[in-house]
């Protein structure tokens, strides 16, 4: 039985920080587009996005650890997307309509109501797909400082675009949380990358090639001659000169 691997808590702390930053990027857009249908608090929508990203991330890692078949994993992920989308549509859209507690026959008689629900339903479906994709990408993506910095820059651009088309107070709730989470993720990623680069040369220098070893008194030049066979040439020249004198 193999011993359990040691948990790298610094690496594990990167995932919640990145997930919080991703949730702060999507939550304001959901609040803006769903505001005509339902009134939500920024904390609730951000927590829901964070839960979906982290749930997908850790579920993917568990399935990889259990070595579940790839097609089974894809099927479970698809079922998760459909289930989360249906639950979100029920809570955010369908439960707020006046006919939600009535019979579905009234809904069939008024198809215009269902047509008006299509934009909200598509928005929820696309948002859930994006959250699942981010969780899966975080689970399979190696630690990279370049990717972390690029995510920070793109996040700043997305929040700037949202601030341009929304009221000023709408984006101020998410800006401090995004900067704190993303900068924390960038800092932890940089420290983890530096730690990985420090351990890699140490392992490489511990390997000593047999050709490079020589005694402390030997010079590298003598060692090179000994390996190439050139050290015997001066001795041969001395012997030839002695025989010529005789």
Q: Which two tokens stand for residue 190?
A: 């940089």
CA 13 from centroid of its chain's CA atoms? 12
How would you write the pLDDT of the chain (246 residues) with one tens digit per residue?
A: 455 567 777 888 899 999 999 999 999 888 888 777 677 788 888 999 999 999 999 999 999 989 999 899 999 999 999 999 888 888 777 665 554 445 555 555 555 666 666 777 788 889 999 999 999 998 888 878 888 899 899 999 999 898 888 776 777 888 899 999 999 999 998 988 888 777 665 444 444 344 444 444 544 445 445 444 444 455 555 555 555 555
Cβ-contact 135, 60 below 8 angstroms: yes
230, exposed or middle or buried, with CB in 10 Å at 0-12, 13-18, 19+?
Answer: exposed
Q: What is the pTM assigned to this prediction?
A: 0.71
215, exposed or middle or buried, with CB in 10 Å at 0-12, 13-18, 19+?
Answer: exposed
Q: Which two tokens stand for residue 138?
A: 């975080």
Q: Is 110 left (phi over 0), alpha (psi -120 to 50) or beta?
A: beta
- Count of CB atoms situated within 10 Å of the CB of 143: 18
Q: Of 210, 84, 201, 192, which is closest to residue 147 (Cα–Cα)?
A: 192
């Amino acid at each position: 039985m193999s011993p359990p691997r040691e948990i790298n808590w610094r690496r594990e702390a990167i995932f919640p920080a990145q997930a919080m930053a991703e949730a702060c990027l999507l939550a304001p857009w959901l609040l803006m587009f769903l505001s005509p249908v339902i009134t939500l608090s920024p904390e609730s929508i951000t927590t829901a996005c964070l839960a979906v990203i982290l749930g997908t991330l850790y579920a993917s890692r568990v399935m990889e650890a259990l070595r579940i078949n790839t097609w089974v994993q894809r099927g479970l992920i698809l079922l998760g997307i459909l289930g989360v989308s249906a639950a979100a549509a029920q809570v955010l859209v369908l439960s707020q309509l006046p006919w939600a507690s009535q019979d579905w026959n009234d809904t069939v008689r008024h198809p215009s109501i269902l047509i008006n629900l299509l934009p909200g339903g598509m928005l929820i479906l696309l948002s859930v797909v994006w959250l699942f994709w981010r969780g899966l990408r975080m689970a399979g993506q190696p630690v990279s400082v370049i990717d972390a910095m690029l995510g920070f820059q793109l996040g700043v651009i997305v929040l700037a675009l949202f601030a341009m088309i929304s009221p000023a107070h709408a984006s101020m709730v998410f800006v401090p949380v995004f900067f704190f989470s993303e900068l924390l993720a960038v800092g932890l990623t940089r420290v983890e990358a530096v730690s990985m680069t420090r351990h890699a040369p140490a392992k490489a220098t511990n390997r000593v090639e047999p050709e490079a070893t020589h005694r402390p008194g030997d010079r590298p030049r003598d060692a090179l001659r000994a390996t190439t066979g050139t050290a015997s040439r001066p001795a041969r020249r001395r012997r030839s000169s002695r025989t010529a004198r005789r």
